[in-house]
Chain A
């Protein structure tokens, strides 16, 4: 079998109208990939703390720079989104909220909760870390 043959596309992503359901579905995967990258940094942070050399000061300085803050806010949102939407998935696994109206309601709830939790985390974090 050739290793790369044309694959069928259904639905065709180029002409299919984005919906809340499909956008949240792909966002779950996208945030999962982003969090995978973030978890590498998290382990690097732990090793830097343990190492005792200049690695920690360099990493800490980077994380407190504006680009570091942007990355951390992105990871915070990704974490809360993946967490909330993951709970939504677990409830579906137990056959709760599978009606179309519930799916849209829980979808908007997940989006709102992720934004609120991200803002709350950073407001508390900035107040505590000043």
Chain B
């Protein structure tokens, strides 16, 4: 291992880090919100590994299906629960990822503010539409 290993990369408050003593004590860093965003992006990324493989495999398996076959498949409780979980985690991950991209490349304050609101609202709307459609198909 390299000498990167001297400090634990998951340690949110490494000694000798850039945070001031007070910030280090509070544990929030310069952004004021700590490593919350960073951590959630990793958690959702890990969850998306099996979920996205499941999605691709399922879509291949149902490539021949007509609408009625798809409705029967989507009505199965395990499929509905897995797909609903996919929407929540996928759109959460999307919301976090798009936010970082906007923050990095859009420097005009008003434009950044507007785009971030659109990103958050569209992500939450897609999450809600996906979850409720799956519930509807499973319970109808």
Q: Is B56 an interface residue (CB 8 A)?
A: yes
Residue of B46, B67, B111 near A49 (CB, 8 A) is B67
Whether A33 contacts B101 by the Cβ 8 Å rule is yes
* B67→A94 contact, CB < 8 A: no
Given contacts A49-B74, A50-B133, A83-B49, contact A93 B108 (CB under 8 A): no
Q: Are B87 and A43 in contact (CB under 8 A)?
A: yes
Digitize A73-102: 1 where CB-to-B-CB distance is under 8 Å, 0 elsewhere: 000100100010011011001110011000
Convert B96-125 into 0s and 1s, putting 1 for each residue whose CB lies closer than 8 angstroms to a CB of A: 011001000001111100000000000000
Q: Does B129 contact A (CB under 8 A)?
A: yes
Cross-chain pairs A/B with CB under 8 angstroms, 29 sampled: A3-B108, A5-B107, A32-B98, A32-B101, A33-B98, A36-B98, A39-B90, A39-B91, A39-B94, A40-B126, A43-B126, A43-B130, A46-B133, A46-B134, A47-B133, A49-B137, A50-B137, A60-B67, A79-B52, A93-B9, A93-B10, A95-B1, A95-B5, A95-B9, A99-B2, A125-B60, A125-B63, A128-B60, A130-B64
B residues in contact (CB < 8 Å) with A: 1-2, 4-5, 9-10, 42, 45-46, 48-49, 52-53, 56, 59-61, 63-64, 67, 70-71, 74, 83, 87, 90-91, 94, 97-98, 101, 107-111, 126, 129-130, 133-134, 136-137
Q: Chain A: residues with CB nearer than 8 A to chain B? A: 1, 3-5, 7, 29, 32-33, 35-36, 39-40, 43, 46-47, 49-50, 52, 56-57, 60, 76, 79, 83, 86-87, 89-90, 93-95, 98-99, 121, 124-125, 128-130
